[in-house]
Amino acid sequence: MSHPDQRALEADATVHAPTPRLLNWMQTHRGGIALSVTIALASSFLAEHYGAPAMLFALLIGMAFNFMNDMPQTAQGISFCSRTLLRLGVALLGLRLTFADVSQLGITPMVGVVAMLVLTLIGGVAFARVFGRTTAFGLLTGGSVAICGASAAMAIAAVLPRKYLKEEDVLLTVVGVTAMSTLAMIAYPVLFRYLGLADIESGYMIGATIHDVAQVVGAGYSVSDTAGDIATFTKLLRVALLPVVLTAVAIIFRKEAGGTAGLPWFVVAFIVLMGVRNLVPLPDGLLTHVNETSRFLLVVAISALGVKTSLQRLFAPGVRGLILIAINTLFLLLQAIVFAHIFLL
């Protein structure tokens, strides 16, 4: 028979022991998380010693470990880092951005984001018709380029009636827009620097043109912290327009948009934290700690994104299958360059 004190200790241990669900989650995710964190630490070390952007190192090193993306020991952890940690890091960026930062953009660039989004959607439909594709496919490709890449593609595909869209079309769009966004993350900062844009303008252009949130963050902070902050804010303006586009697509096809029209949680959190940052006095030490945490989470997320990036798979559908998405991407870039020369320079 157990002693009363022993039973008490066993009961206390049971209360504080991790639940089976938590243990299972840790077992399935720890390998991928450990890999992503290790790459992030190595990238940060190289960035400090060689002066190159940590996120670029993270992407390139991560790509070298692409073979681990499909391993059962690491797959789920990598996906967790590339999605959940990315969104958490972006949400925490709300504490970095002040109204003064946003006011540097002014109302004209914000209107420009809306105008470029609308024109890219129209262009997507027009280009699709030229290529002999349907209006639905044009909205899918144009919307993924105009808003937030693969996430927008999946959301728009959920709204479009199945009879107008094949699963292969969705897969092609996701692959194509991911490929274009990854290439843009590397090329656009160099291009905008060549065009003579300052950090604020470069951040705006990056946020207005690159498709996925992860690549916007990586490209923006590879230029500077200021460019990264502005790029993130500009990008989230585009993401915030996703419900509007989904509603419009649903009306066009006379279908219900269902529950897909809500704002993503990390966009809501970003807005709330930005409000807190500007309305509530916060200790500098806290802000510094949160900023460092946010930045490291983003480096971890970019590391995981690099592991998930396979150049062979990105271009597997062939060059012809990517032409339409590439045209949409270049059309958006051209709009942004013209806008910058008229209103920003």
In-domain check, residue 43? yes
Count of Cβ atoms closer than 10 Å to residue 12 Cβ: 10
Cα separation, 107 vs 210, whole angstroms: 21
State the average pLDDT for the chain: 81
Please report the pLDDT score of residue 260 as a whole number: 46
Residue 5 belongs to a domain: no
Question: pTM, whole model, 2 decimals?
Answer: 0.68
Q: Is 2 within the bounds of a domain?
A: no
Instruction: Look up tokens 């989004």; give the residue.
Output: 117
- What's the rounded Cα separation, in Å, for the pair 11 and 23? 19
Is the model's pLDDT at 195 over the cut of 80? Answer: yes
- Model confidence at 59, pLDDT cuts 50, 70, 90, reads confident
DSSP 19-78: PHHHHHHHHHHHHHHHHHHHHHHHHHHHHHHH-S-HHHHHHHHHHHTGGGTT-TTTHHHH
pLDDT of residue 316: 58
Could you tell me the CATH number of the domain that includes residue 40?
Answer: 1.20.1530
Tell me whether residue 68 is in a domain: yes
Q: How far is residue 44's CA from residue 248's CA, in Å, rounded to a whole number?
A: 43
- Give the pLDDT of residue 50: 80
Give the per-residue pLDDT at 256: 42
CA distance 343 to 345: 6
pLDDT category of residue 255 using cuts at 50, 70 and 90: very low
Residue 203, pLDDT > 80, answer yes
Count of domains observed in the chain = 1
Domain assignment of residue 16, yes or no: no
Instruction: Please tell me what DSSP assigns to residue 161.
Output: -
Non-local CB neighbours of 94 within 8 Å, separated by 6+ positions: 269, 270, 271, 272, 273, 274, 275, 276, 277
Better pLDDT: 210 or 28:
210
Share of the chain above pLDDT 70, in %: 84
Residue 4 lies in a domain: no
Within a domain: 13: no
Compute the average pLDDT of residues 258-281: 73
Residue 109: pLDDT band (50, 70, 90) is confident
Token look-up 């490709």 returns 141
Owning domain of residue 138: 30-344
- For residue 180, what pLDDT is reported? 87
Contacts of 225 (CB under 8 A, 6+ apart): none
Tell me: pLDDT of 306 over 60: yes
For the cut 70, the answer to whether the pLDDT of residue 104 exceeds it is no
Give the pLDDT mean for 188-215: 90
For residue 220, being part of any structural domain is answered with yes
